[in-house]
């Protein structure tokens, strides 16, 4: 084998070995985000890098290992860490409070917004700003989409945000917590010892701790490098 081919193979092999050492140790792991759950801050398809050299704190995006109870295999997920053990978490009309303080006002988030088909067809600015993909039909001739709250405010759509009332019982949440809570009216809930609470920035399209429960602090594997 020619010398340059041997050198090339050695370099490629070394890169492969180093990458897997970094990945499995958690020092440096690369993921392709495959969901909308952290829009608008982590886009679908975006490449992100995490490391376990940073201690996770509330507000950080964290990677963690998750396994459904009836599954044999676990997988990695990324969500924002919002509360740690002994914190009191409460969601009031879609706004997250931690220990009585508004957590959401520090971050750009996305929520579901609902407008009439007539408005959507009439106003080009709405279609231009939020795109024409991934709208879905709702009753009463309306359509919905997950929209960056900053864009919704710019377009005067804030009153169109979909908020589940406290009376709108979520069966998954009830099964998990034994309480008659909705996704937007939740708690107050004290985070148990050794646990953390994670949520997606796309609050209406995220399978997070509201539905899967608090996760073990030991399940955290890394912090997103931003």
- Nearest-Å Rg of the Cα atoms of the chain is 21
**Collapsed DSSP state (helix, strand, coil) of residue 115:** strand
Of 3.30.360.10, 2.10.109.10, 2.40.50.100, 3.90.470.10, which CATH number belongs to 3-87+191-224? 2.10.109.10
Q: Is 10 a residue whose pLDDT tops 60? A: no
What would the two tokens of residue 200 be?
């997606």
Question: pLDDT per residue over 57-95, tens digit each?
Answer: 999 999 998 988 888 788 889 999 999 999 999 999 999
Dihedral, 181, 138, 127, 152 alpha carbons, nearest 10: -20
Segment 40-47 shows an average pLDDT of 92
Please tell me the predicted confidence (pLDDT) of residue 15.
44
Asked if residue 200 has pLDDT above 90, the reply is yes
Helix (H) or strand (E) holding 89: strand 88-92
pLDDT at 20: 47
Give me the pLDDT at residue 117, please.
80
pLDDT at site 128: 72
pLDDT digits (tens, 9 = 90+) for 22-33: 455 445 788 888
pTM of the model: 0.84
- Calculate the alpha carbon distances from 91 to 82, 115, 163, 186, 204 in Å: 12, 24, 11, 5, 13
- Reported as a pLDDT band with limits 50, 70 and 90, residue 133 is low
What tens digit of pLDDT does each residue of 92-123 get? 999 999 999 999 999 999 999 988 887 777 66
As beta bridge partners, residue 105 has none
Domain locations along the chain: 3-87+191-224, 110-160
pLDDT at residue 171, rounded to an integer: 95
pLDDT at 17: 44
d(CA 177, CA 190): 12
- The residue ranking higher by pLDDT, 99 or 153, is 99
Average pLDDT in the chain: 85
Question: Contact 175/83 with Cβ under 8 angstroms?
Answer: no
């Amino acid at each position: 084998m020619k010398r340059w081919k041997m050198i090339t193979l050695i370099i490629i092999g070394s890169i492969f070995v180093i990458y897997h050492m970094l990945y499995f140790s958690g020092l440096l792991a690369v993921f392709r985000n495959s969901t909308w759950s952290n829009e608008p801050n982590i886009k679908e398809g975006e490449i992100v890098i995490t490391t376990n050299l940073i201690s996770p704190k509330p507000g950080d995006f964290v990677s963690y290992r998750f396994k459904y109870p009836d599954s044999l295999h676990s997988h990695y997920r990324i969500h924002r860490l919002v509360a740690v053990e002994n914190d009191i978490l409460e969601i009031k009309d879609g706004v997250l409070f931690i220990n009585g303080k508004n957590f959401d006002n520090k971050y750009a988030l996305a929520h579901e917004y609902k407008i009439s088909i007539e408005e959507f067809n009439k106003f080009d600015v709405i279609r231009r700003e939020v795109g024409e993909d991934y709208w879905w039909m709702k009753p009463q001739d309306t359509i919905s989409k997950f929209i960056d709250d900053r864009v919704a405010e710019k377009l005067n759509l804030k009153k169109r945000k979909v908020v589940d009332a406290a009376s709108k019982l979520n069966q998954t949440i009830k099964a998990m917590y034994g309480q008659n809570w909705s996704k937007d009216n939740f708690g107050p809930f004290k985070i148990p010892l050794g646990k953390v609470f994670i949520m997606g920035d796309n609050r209406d399209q995220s399978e997070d701790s509201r539905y899967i429960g608090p996760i073990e602090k030991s399940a955290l594997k890394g912090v997103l490098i931003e």
